[in-house]
Amino acid sequence: MSLNPLPIHTSRFGGCTLTGALSVTTHIRNTASLVHGPKGCTHHNFSLLHATGLDNDIVTLPALVSTALSESDIVFGGEGALLRTLDTVAERDIDAIFVLSTCIIDTIGDDVAAICSREYGIPVIIVPTAGFLGGTFQNGVANALCAIAGTAAPCPVNDWVNIIGEKNLEYEVEENYAEITRLLGMLGIPVNLRFVHDIAFEDIGTLGAARLNILREPALLSVGDYLEQRFGTPFIPTFPVGLSGTLSFLEAVAEIFGITSHPAVEKELLLQTDTLAGFSDLKGMAASFDPAMSDPDGVKSFYEVAEALHIHLKQPGTNGVSLGPGTPVGTTGVRRMLHRWRRQLHA
């Protein structure tokens, strides 16, 4: 039984809600993420965040604290342990504490909100993260983004954009961000806030200033809706994916800003033609890939690129090289994907 519907439009159907939330909260500098639960929940996530962080050249350790609950805390309730840990962590020279619950906490019904509503001298922000409630990694990300957004007040709007919900654990997180800034740069639009990727706690106050929010992927629709409701900011539901997706992204952004997209689209089209021309050696080759492994937008972009290069895509399991999953962000994302394809097809 699950009382919560699964997020749609994502390949990340599984995963731990807590991990998803921590992938967000640990990207706010000089804050602590307090995991209310047994030690293992924290250790496991610390290792995972540290390892994936190293892949992205992040050498700082994730600032996690555990309430380290034991059996008697479960029997008598974990509220005392939470209070003690919060008191200790609040003495550090940090800007905020995020409190993340675990499965066992929502099972025994600790009143986390009541404990967190006391005065600690710094903001204490609750992120609901009990995974057994049907949540996934993606729910954790969304819950964290909404909880953090709740600390920001509406403010005067500028002519910039926010980037919402970058996948901080993905290998190409910086490359994808660079591609978005390149595309926005063609339209002369700067980025207001990376919400949330390596920011200061006080930066969150500017969240409402952007004229447009760009979501990383459609699985974050609920976050886009929440931000629109709270700050009145419209949103584009996804980073540009594939060739035509990149062109329509430029058009959509330009339309919201009331500017023309023609010069940018023309320039980008030239880049795309140029990019494809560089991979003409793949023409006529046979390949397959498993659509079940990819996001729906990724699937579309795969077929589009294959068609443009006259690569014959066959059913998975039949002859031809099996191409790995991936969602190419922007034209440079397509180019990186084609480099991977070339390595696989010529292997």
Partner 1 sequence: MVMKQIALYGKGGIGKSTTSANLSAALSGMGLDILQIGCDPKRDSTRMLMHGQFIPTVMDLVRVRGEAPITLSEVEFTGFNGVRCVEAGGPEPGVGCAGRGIIATFQLLEKFGALKGDVIVYDVLGDVVCGGFAMPMREGYAQDVYLVTSGELMSLYAANNICKAIQRLSSRTKSTCRLAGVICNAKNQPNEEELVAEFAKRVNSSLIQFIPRDRVVQLAELNRKTVIEYEPASAQAECYRTLGKRVMENTHFTIPTPLEIDELESLAYSYI
> Which residues contact partner 1 by CB under 8 A?
71-79, 107-110
Q: In whole angstroms, what is the distance from residue 291 CA to residue 169 CA?
A: 22
Alpha-carbon distance of 167 to 141, in angstroms, equals: 9
In angstroms, rounded to a whole number, what is the distance separating the alpha carbons of residues 61 and 46? Answer: 8
| Neighbouring C-beta atoms of residue 242, cutoff 10 Å | 27
Angle between helices 17-25 and 39-55 (to 10 degrees): 60
Supply the minimum distance, in Å, between the C-beta of residue 72 and partner 1: 5
User: Which of residues 80 and 324 has its CB atom nearest to partner 1 in the complex?
Assistant: 80
Task: Copy the structure tokens of residue 195.
Answer: 């919400």
Please identify, using beta-carbon distances, which residue of 76 and 171 lies nearer to partner 1: 76
Q: In the complex, what is the shortest distance from the CB of residue 79 to partner 1, in angstroms, rounded to a whole number?
A: 7
CA dihedral 212, 8, 16, 132 (to 10 degrees): 120
**Shortest Cβ 81–partner 1 spacing (Å):** 11
Q: Choose between 79 and 166: whose C-beta lies nearer to partner 1.
A: 79
Full strand arrangement of the beta sheet holding 321-322: 312-314, 286-288, 321-322
Residue 45 CA to residue 274 CA, distance in Å, equals 43
Q: Which of 91, 94, 97 is nearest to 36 (CA)?
A: 97
Which phi-psi region, left, alpha or beta, contains residue 15 (left: φ > 0; alpha: ψ -120 to 50)? left
Whichever of 78 and 140 has its CB closer to partner 1, that residue is 78
**Nearer to partner 1 among residue 13 and residue 132 (C-beta):** 132
In the complex, the smallest distance separating the C-beta of residue 147 from partner 1, rounded to whole angstroms, is: 24
Select 36 or 216, whichever has its Cβ closest to partner 1.
36
DSSP annotation of 93: S
As measured in angstroms, the least distance from the Cβ of 21 to partner 1 is 24
- Least Å distance between CB 41 and partner 1? 17
